[in-house]
Amino acid sequence: MKEALRESARDVPLVGHFIGGREVAGSEVLCGDVWNPALGRRRARVAFAGAEEVDAAVTAAREAYPSWAAIPPARRAGVLFRFRELLVERRDALAALVTAEHGKTLDDARGELTRGIEVVEFACGIPELLKGEMTENVGRGVDAFTIRQPLGVCAGITPFNFPVMVPLWMFPIAVACGNTFVLKPSEKDPSAAIELARLFQASGAPPGVLNVVNGAAQTVDALLDHPEIAAVSFVGSTPVAEHVFTRAHARGKRVQALGGAKNHLVILPDADLEHAAGAILGAAYGSAGERCMAVSVVVAVGDDVADALAASLERRLERLVIGDGADPATEMGPLVTADHLARVRSYIDLAEREGAQVRVDGRTHPCVRRSDGFFLGPTLLDRVRSSMRVYREEIFGPVLCLVRAASREEALELVNAHEYGNGASIFTRSGEVARWFSHSVVAGMVGVNIPIPVPMAFHSFGGWKRSLFGDHHMHGPEGVRFYTRLKAVTVSWPASSAAGGGFSMPTS
């Protein structure tokens, strides 16, 4: 790592922007570093867009909007069909790009791309999804119908943990509905977004329909403040989601801002513990825990269940293969940056001070010593209490908290008392208990014997409480509703000799 830090910035490429159908280099003065987290080496720099470049992207989108919105939905769907085919053709190259900048395994990166492609496939059905409703004879000789129309220029601000999937949650549906789009990806792994823009342009989209500006907080605020952006979609941490919602909403924009999570998985005594342990392993430690739907808290009902589950997890974690995500044998890769690694380690230190039992300590894992990359081993914290910060706060790393509850009612109370309400799961053999939990839990997404209950693309994704700011969930039917507005039209074709209207309230 020390050798990497001495590298000259001139030795690595600059990731710029994509504006008006072409790549724009961007400023080399204000930029950030992009790392290969498995090697701890700088692999690129990324230019940070200022207000001028943001305005150029919005202008390109605004100029492209009238003609794009006027294109029949079936023809817009045709562009998305071609885009979907290019994504499939470039699947391996895109996955390798994600692995190089994020650190997740190639299999995980391919899975991310597959889930993103599913949203593109959903958006290809936009002619059906935009159909309105019609009622004949709401009054004598009067008909009424509704239509859905696009909003204009929309913006998306996406996180580092899914540099392909989350952008594909947003702009395919937005543009299918007739909007144009400005995407601001994470500055930690920006290259995949530029590649998506290239592929979308190659699919036949007119210049300016999709634009990409890279940057950090200054770029985000320039988008939130821009008067010609009609709607903003965001996925990230809760403090930033709240900032995005508050600032953009105050400027009259429609906003959907998905925030943080502390997803709970409740294990009942009748559950298959070996099945549950295997499910938890991938759900808690896959992608090094850098998922908004990662299981970060397991609530075991009864000490016998907790002891058996912890022992099973310990055995499995001993065999977990950690290394470069590009190695097919790797099961868990590094964290995304050195700063994030330090932050996650600090939570393990804090857990010890708070009195948690560190049953598996990722700080002492051999992967930490044998590489210059940003590695941390899996950590299992037992006897965690709800008063601890490691329980209350989102860690976003390979750290699993095990909480012990005396009853299923106490377990549900724990889940519902937490400030986040993104996802929650229960493992049980009882249909009655599963139904009780599904109806009673205060969370936006629920799993029964499913550790990560992420909806398919034709449903919608989103949490409750402080996991979501705004009224609309993402993709699926909610995505179409977010990126369009409803218009009601009432029509009469009276005979030329018909009497004019009166002064009283019109009725049927």
**What are 454-496's pLDDT values in tens digits?**
999 999 999 999 999 999 999 999 999 999 999 999 999 987 7
Where are the CATH 3.40.605.10 domain residues in the chain?
A: 2-259+467-488
Q: What are 416-427's pLDDT values in tens digits?
A: 999 999 999 999
pLDDT of 305: 98
Where are the CATH 3.40.309.10 domain residues in the chain?
A: 263-448
75 vs 110, 167, 247, CA distance in Å?
Answer: 28, 22, 35
DSSP-derived 3-state class of residue 267: strand
User: For residues 109 and 97, what is the distance between their CA atoms, to the nearest angstrom?
Assistant: 9
User: For residues 196 and 175, what is the distance between their CA atoms, to the nearest angstrom?
Assistant: 14
DSSP-derived 3-state class of residue 497: coil
pLDDT of 494: 87
**Is 401 annotated as catalytic?**
no
Residue 1 in this model has a pLDDT that exceeds 80: no
Q: What are 214-252's pLDDT values in tens digits?
A: 999 999 999 999 999 999 999 999 999 999 999 999 999
Q: What are 339-395's pLDDT values in tens digits?
A: 999 999 999 999 999 999 999 999 999 999 877 999 999 999 999 999 999 999 999
Average pLDDT of the residues in 438-451: 97
Question: Taking the model in full, what pTM does it have?
Answer: 0.95
pLDDT, greater one: 236 or 6: 236
Q: From the candidates 31, 292, 367, 401, which is the catalytic residue? A: 292
Enumerate residues 6+ apart whose C-beta is below 8 A from 179: 65, 69, 150, 151, 152, 153, 154, 230, 231, 483
Fold of the 2-259+467-488 domain = Aldehyde Dehydrogenase; Chain A, domain 1 (3.40.605)
Average pLDDT of the residues in 138-157: 96
Averaged pLDDT of the chain: 95
pLDDT of 495: 79
pLDDT of 28: 82
Enumerate residues 6+ apart whose C-beta is below 8 A from 395: 289, 296, 344, 347
pLDDT of 152: 98
Q: Which CATH class is domain 263-448?
A: alpha beta
Residue 21 in this model has a pLDDT that exceeds 90: yes
Residue 182 in this model has a pLDDT that exceeds 80: yes
